Structure 1
Amino acid sequence: MTVDNLSQLLKEKLTSSFGKSLEEATTKEVFQSICLIMKDSIHPNWQMTQQTYDENESKQVYYFSMEFLLGRMIETNLLNMGLLDVYKETLTSLEFNPEEVFKEEHDAGLGNGGLGRLAACFLDSLASLQLPGYGMGIRYKYGLFQQKVVNGYQVELPDYWLEDEYMWETKRNDKAIEVRFGGTVETTTINGELHFQHHDYERVLAIPYDVPIVGYDNSTVNTLRLWSAESTTNHFHFHSSRGHDYYHYLDYKRSIEKISEFLYPDDSYYEGKILRLKQQYFLVSAGLQSIMQKYKKRNKPLQELSKHVVIQINDTHPSLVVPELMRILLDDERLGWDEAWAITQETVAYTNHTTLSEALEKWPEDMIETLFPRLYQIIYEINERFCKMLWFDYPELREKIPEMAILAYGQIHMAHLAMVGSFSINGVAKLHTSILKDRVMKPFHIVYPDRFNNKTNGITHRRWLLNANPGLAHIITEAIGTDWIKKPEQLVSILPYATDPAFQDLVARVKHENKQNLATYIKQHYNLTIDDEAIVDVHIKRLHGYKRQLLNLFHIIHLYNTCLENPSIKMTPRIFIFGAKAAPGYTFAKQVIKLTNAVAEKINHHPTVSKHLKVLFLENYQVTLAEKIIPAADVSEQISTASKEASGTGNMKLMMNGALTIGTQDGANVEIGEYVGNDNIFTFGITSEEVFQYQMRGDYRARDYYNDDRRLRNVMDLLVNQHFSGDDVDFKDIFYSLLYNNDEYFVLRDFDSYLSSQQRVDQCYQNQRDWLQKSIVNIGHSGAFSSDRTIREYAEEIWKIQPTTVPTHPIL
């Protein structure tokens, strides 16, 4: 592909699709024309990939996830196709700004945080490693929400990311699936066999929209299948004598479409719980039915399903995979219980992403029974058999049966269902997996010791280094060649350059350019001028108490107090950048956002303090914004309460771009520290074992830390004396949650240690040679945290799938 070829193709596509010349075309029309040209190249390889898998009878993994946080696909697809540079050059030659053209693509509203971004990285790695893999998700019409900050408060607006056509998807009406809710189950005996008939159920049509996932420098194009809940008049009975049925139909249509309307509906009320449960079953049932239809076309015995198919549950949300697969095998395929159960357990694998009790989903028994009457019967039977097995085979666990049961005290425990029905249970960092085995899920580990394993998370270096930070990628390639792009573990080859002043200067120049780009963005969007020589300190992740954005704020307020006490103080300038969304019903998290903005308002407009400090909350944090922030970052805030963060992936992205981690001994921070060494990471805070000891003994007293540390007391008192707000009640809830609810996430306990670690950060940054050496060491070891490594481990140790080479199809 040359610039001349592409220019001609673009002109022809504009004419054929929009009836416009290049001179008349809008930026959006140019973007859409580029996508159409790319699809002409992608679709033949897409078809060939599926054909090759079928011909080779390749074993395939189906990755079920409620989130796929894709970000913009145009640059990733062009990069993987080897066409990014020529497209940029062509657009520039035609007097279009490539960045402005690419910005016409909205971030797909299919995820919220690390869980969804991990799933997207995994899809990229599957295709790039030529592994047969399918994503299964929901095509949310509105995604989570668009976050606006008004008077310091988070305001949620609909994120209608589908307002413009999503250029990458293809609707597959011929692959529609019927999903059933509610109704009753009639049990009959025919020729001595039980039969279950489902009556009076609500029909929902699941329409798949397929998105191609392009592999890097190969012909593999895998599929992300997104299901949309839609209605048709065929599923509603009109009676001409009843004119009001038209309005009944509208109500019916609306109730159906709500299922795939919003990501994570608020489940703090009954209707929200119903909707969230419906979403989970909708994904599971549509996905499994489509898998079984495809498998049966191979004319293979059902007993061999696990030799050809593996179903990976991404966190507890899709746990209904277990009883739904049983339903299909029992009712549709007429297998016996023992045979169906053996197939299910051999086919399903489960990834746990959290130790937080509120995230290990539990649903009311009566709600499950009402929504999914047949699944409820199956879950009840699974639970009965499991509990009997425990009673007879594990007498030492008899007292634990109530807390291990799938169904107990009117609640159905989804994580228990997933563990009992899976052949593999994996954590996502070494520490996290140890906590699962030794504490949170210890009884299950006793019963199923061979099922538990670790797969430390990873990120795709193609997006987060090669594409997001091309300047850094270029100097790495100049130093060590291009092999690292396909084998990211070879980034260690830059370690000998860590002490090379010339290479350090190149890294410093790239970082400075990235800071200037970020500063320009901030000036344009927030009218705030920042010093591009300042430390860029970044805290970007979901807003939650355990992630402790509040601890970061307390350090900032302490620095603010220090500057007020000593106006002539010498301090390395620092800008603190926050990016996060709080769940709409999570009041505490929304108060932290308000406090962040109040502190920013006070500091950024102070005549002397603002010379040293700036604070900025960037609204509507998403993948595209992360791609601007991360390459410019110097400090990576990974300060979750030890034992609470399963892994983290933001820590890996920032590390890969040369930021140094300040973090607790939590999640993958521990493994980052093992790779880079204690001299190249700033670790602080109590350990996970100390957290467990506090919780077991119940002897933590937050007020003691408030009383004993004047610095901490001065910080906290500003929350309740109207210093940051004209209303003295604005931040009282934060104050009282720490002192009267005893500081659930040990913010006060870690305050002193965190301040000491931050002082080490400041001192180290003043010695730029030392800082750059540490930065390069982090970059060099970041290849170990590539999602390519993670996916290879899944493929070899859990899924047992092999790479499949797809014949090359010429790129148009």
Structure 2
Amino acid sequence: MMKKEALKTGILNALHGVDPKTATPQQLHQALGETVMEAIAPDWKKSMDAHEHSRRACYFSMEFLVGRAVYNNLLVLDVMQEAEEAFAELGVSLSDLEVIEDAALGNGGLGRLAACFLDSAATLDLPLDGYGIRYKYGLFKQYFEDGCQKEVPDDWMRYGDAWSVRREEDAVLVEFAGQTVRAVPYDMPVIGCKTKHIGNLRLWQAEPVHTFDFDLFNQQKYLEAAAETVYAEDISRVLYPSDDTWEGKKLRLKQQYFFCAASLQDILKKHKAAYGTLDNLADKLAIQLNDTHPVISVPELVRQLMLPENGYTFERAFGMARQIFHYTNHTVMPEALEKWDCNLVQQLLPAVYDIILRIEEQFMTEMYQKGVDKAQANRMKLVQDGMVHMARIAVYASAHTNGVAAIHTEILKDSVLKDWYQVYPERFQNKTNGITQRRWLALCNPELSGLLTELLGSDDWKIHLDDLKQLERYADDTAVLERFLAIKQTKKEQLAAYIAEKEGVQIDPQSIFDIQIKRLHEYKRQLLNAFSILYLYFGLKDGSIADITPVTFLFGAKSAPGYRRAKAIIKFIHEVAKLVEADPLVSQKIKVVFVSNYNVSYAEKLVAAADVSEQISTAGTEASGTGNMKLMLNGAVTLGTYDGANIEIVEEAGEENNYIFGAKVEELEQIMPTYDSRKLFSENEKIRRVVETLIDGTCCDGGSGDFRELYYSLLDGASWHAPDNYYLLGDLESYVAAKLRCNGDYTDRMAFAKKQWLNICNAGKFSSDRTIADYAENIWNIQAVTVD
């Protein structure tokens, strides 16, 4: 463990004569990062050497939403106090680093899951390494203008990157038709808790092959050099560029191939160095495909193994690939399964496209050999109607396919991937998602962490979250519950102060904090939440709802820049907030706040302060969710549907300690074929009153027509979906009833605190440590390695 004096000395040396008291937070952060990185370098190298000489797993993901590294790294190294004291003696505060940018290299749950998984693997001493892209600009920064989302680039590296090391010696070339780029890796340490093990996240940056001496007197050469630099760097410039155009689609496919091709070259080079041969590659390597984005690596591995210097036949190479790859599916919506236009793949990656066609031929042969019905085999074709179906390649070419919650996996088997499950039932597994308790409890809620550690007699829960189960014995202990409530109040006051500073909005920390934080998408039903608030608003106005406990509804979400409906929902929630705020009666009971630029660091504050966790997706649409787990772990009750991991949360903590509403998956299967949202709208005055705010002038969209479009999508549908296809109106009254029941129960603070406490005690299943241990044993077949 680093000592305070060593930290002080390292920071002073790294500041290169700059007085700490006059240094910027960014300079202090860089100096601290350099000091810590130098200290951990020996263990990091030993860990990587151990990985390369063991059977190991690699996690391929387009997203790693790692967030801000500094505080998490100090926490898991157990030097937070030493760092605070060292900063204080230098005349500054560690809290000054709150302004440091998040590494927002992800869009939501998929990317945050990837980051949690690497954290857990390092803590469990498992040889797992991540591979992805070092985007120059992460997920955009969001601000609101008259309630409308606006985006600005997120230049997260503009003050440097204290937690990455450029590995120039490992740069490789990636070839597209007509273009070759350099892929330069930057390594980020993933530090285990209570262990010397340090995992590795390797992120690739795209650069031009040549460094040009720009000749200002030769305009043609200058333009050619500048163009090559820009075209190369575009590949790793932006997370998820718009794919509305052919060029946008081409850039996305380039991104996927770029990091997959570079990662596979890296893996094969290291394997040859360690073993002198690739013959045992499948015995020593597992690669997890995090959704369909990295599936292009399947034909690419086959292509690389067939290169003259490796010399494998197609049959041998593809046989190895089928043992090495494993596929995680993250969606139950067939339309969300990735497909690529054959012409695009052939134009950009002709050699890879040839391999895909050979895989397709082997697939058809295998289907006939297995006696699969011709119609079923045709439905399963990897290349169909001019499109390459990436999820189909993933299932066919992988040893395992897994869902991420029990209900999600069953839906995959029963519908989305039914044909595949019938042919390969032995390949399907469930791996319910998890979160790392180091960041999502120990770091974001030190007050609650301290109480849990005191009651348990140790902080072993940081690596054995199931230990929290022992704390059920305090569920009726008034003294303990009062301490818990005092901590919750402290976190609410901290969040209220932060929102006042950041958003310029005052919220009452004595009110219920009812929080919905997640990516903005129609199926996640933020619009349903807004409708429920309007339902309460009108009820309080007309007296049909006599009274409620004061409640603050907090939203945090970003919409994809081109997602018009999602942006309209953001605007609508802001309009609801204005409507409520302007009413002298209702504003005493309800406050609505949409926080700006929701990210990992904001989430850390929100989950610790939440009383109620909104998890209201239409049953059967959310694969798992992980925000639900973070909120549960910090003592929020779940107000949600029987969807994703909500079901398992209720199984663990008890339905009586949560608030479940709405139609279930099996009920919706019966309801939706004949569901008539206009009939419900016409017959139910309260629902009609709420929905008509979209068009009657109660809420204004600024003349865009977006609210009217939302209105008709609910009542008449659109060319691509049925009316109210996410069943907002159908679930609205059940939802309001659950919300009012929760609100009423809150008045008995001890009884409600018991519900919250029991959620904490039963969160053990939802540690990503459990998930990763399951992957390690039942999919990757990897063992813990020792770092001396």
> What amino acid sits opposite 1:211 in the alignment?
M
Task: Flag the 1:47–1:718 CA change in 2: closer, same or farther, 3 A.
Answer: same
Worse-superposed segment, 681-690 or 207-216? 681-690
Counterpart check, 1:418 vs 2:394: yes
Deviations 1:204-259 (A, max 9, x none): 1100001111111111111100000001326x899999751320221121111110
* Cα gap change, 1:523 to 1:319, in 2 (>3 Å): same
Q: Which deviates further from its counterpart, 429-438 or 35-44?
A: 35-44
Deviates more, 1:386-395 or 1:365-374: 386-395
Match of 2:236 among 238, 249, 260: 260
Say if 1:14 and 1:30, in contact at 8 Å, map to a contact too: no
Q: How far apart are the structure 2 equivalents of 1:22 and 1:410?
A: 61
| AA matched with 2:139 | L
- Residue in 2 aligned with 1:553? 530
Matched residue type, 2:512: I
Query: Counterpart amino acid of 1:751?
Result: L
Partner of 1:250: 226
Superposition deviation, residue 525 in structure 1: 2.1
Q: 1:492 & 1:121 partners in 2: Cα distance? A: 22
Go from structure 1 to structure 2 and tell me whether the alpha carbon gap of 1:23 and 1:591 turns closer, same or farther (over 3 Å shift).
Answer: closer
Q: Distance in 2 between matches of 1:212 and 1:568?
A: 54
Cα distance in structure 1, aligned partners of 2:262 and 2:471: 47
Give SS of 2:746's match: helix
How is 1:162-561 mapped onto 2 (pairs within 5 angstroms)? Answer: 162-182=157-177, 201-233=178-210, 243-332=219-308, 333-395=310-372, 397-482=373-458, 483-561=460-538
Aligned equivalent of 1:786: 767
CA distance in 1: counterparts of 2:573 and 2:732, whole angstroms: 17
Distance 2:219 2:136 in 1: 30
Equivalent pair of 2:2/2:39 in contact (CA under 8 Å): no
Supply the AA of the counterpart residue of 2:163. W
Residue 770 of structure 2 aligns with an amino acid whose one-letter code is: R
1:590 to 567, 581, 585: 567
Distance 1:433 1:77 in 2: 34
Bigger shift: 724-733 or 647-656?
Answer: 724-733
Tell me: CA distance 1:727–1:79, structure 2 relative to 1, closer, same or farther (3 Å).
Answer: closer
The Cα of 1:180 is off from its aligned counterpart by 0.6
Partner of 2:720: none
Q: How many residues are paired up?
A: 780
Match of 1:700 in 2: 675
Instruction: Give the corresponding residue for 1:90.
Output: 86
1:775 aligns with 2:752: no
Do residues 114 (structure 1) and 109 (structure 2) align? yes
Aligned to 1:190: none
Query: What residue number does 1:30 align with?
Result: 28
1:126-145 → structure 2 map (5 Å cutoff): 126-145=121-140
Q: What displacement does 1:700 show?
A: 1.5
Whole-angstrom CA distance in 2 between matches of 1:15 and 1:444: 59
Shift in alpha-carbon separation, 1:641–1:770, aligned structure 2, 3 A = same
Letter matched to residue 337 of structure 2: L
Residues 617-632 of structure 1 correspond to what in structure 2 (within 5 A)? Answer: 617-632=594-609
Give the aligned partner of residue 72 of structure 1: 68
Structure 1 segments, 4+ long, off by >6 Å, are: 236-242
Distance 1:489 1:245, change over 3 A: same
Partners in 1 of 2:9 and 2:40 — Cα distance?
Answer: 20
Task: Measure, in 2, the Cα distance between the counterparts of 1:649 and 1:152.
Answer: 27
Instruction: Write the letter of the residue equivalent to 1:368.
Output: V
Aligned residue for 2:786?
805
The alignment's C-alpha RMSD in Å is 1.9
Contact 2:55–2:285 (8 Å) recurs in 1: yes
Report the alpha carbon displacement of residue 392 of structure 1 after superposing the two structures with TM.
3.8
1:725 and 2:720 are equivalent in the alignment: no
Quote the Cα distance in structure 1 between the aligned partners of 2:451 and 2:433: 26
CA–CA separation in structure 1 for the residues paired with 2:645 and 2:100: 32
Pairing partner for 1:61 from 34, 42, 57 = 57
Equivalent runs, 1:592-607 vs 2, <5 Å:
592-607=569-584
My pick for the range that moved more, 518-527 or 208-217, is 518-527
Per-residue deviation at 1:104?
Answer: 4.0
Mapped contact 1:465–1:656 kept (Cα < 8 A) = yes
1:348-378 deviation line (CA, Å, top 9, x unaligned): 1110011122321011111000011011111
> 2:87 is matched by which residue type in structure 1?
L
**Counterpart pick for 1:43 among 25, 38, 41:** 41
1:752 corresponding residue in structure 2: 733
For 2:216 and 2:536, the matched residues in 1 are separated by 73
Distance in 2 between residues matched to 1:326 and 1:26, nearest whole Å: 50
Contact 2:552-2:591 within 8 A present in 1 as well: yes
Whole-angstrom distance in 1 between the partners of 2:572 and 2:258: 39
> Given the alignment, which residue of 655, 680, 690 partners 2:632?
655
User: The residue matched to 1:671 in structure 2 has which SS?
Assistant: helix
The verdict on how the C-alpha distance between 1:605 and 1:410 changes in structure 2, with shifts beyond 3 A counting, is same
Aligned equivalents of 2:217 and 2:581: distance in 1?
68
Greater Cα shift, 86-95 or 370-379: 86-95
More displaced, 615-624 or 298-307?
Answer: 298-307
CA contact (8 A) 1:71 1:624 kept: yes
- TM-score norm. by structure 2 comes to 0.96
CA-CA distance at 1:2 after TM superposition:
8.3
For each residue in 1:633-653, what CA deviation from the matched residue of structure 2 results, as whole angstroms up to 9, or x when unmatched?
Answer: 000000001111000000000
Cα distance in 2 for residues equivalent to 1:250 and 1:793: 49
Any conservation in 2 of the 1:64–1:135 contact (CA below 8 Å)?
yes
Secondary structure of the equivalent of 1:721?
coil
Secondary structure, counterpart of 1:766 in structure 2: coil
Distance across 2 between alignment mates of 1:514 and 1:321? 44
Q: Which amino acid aligns with 2:584?
A: P
Unaligned runs of at least 5 residues, structure 1: 183-200, 808-812
In the aligned structure 1, how far is the partner of 2:545 from the partner of 2:679? 33
Does the CA-based 8 Å contact 1:468-1:631 persist in structure 2? yes
Quick check: 1:31–1:104 contact (8 Å CA) kept in 2? Answer: no
SS in 2 for 1:572: coil
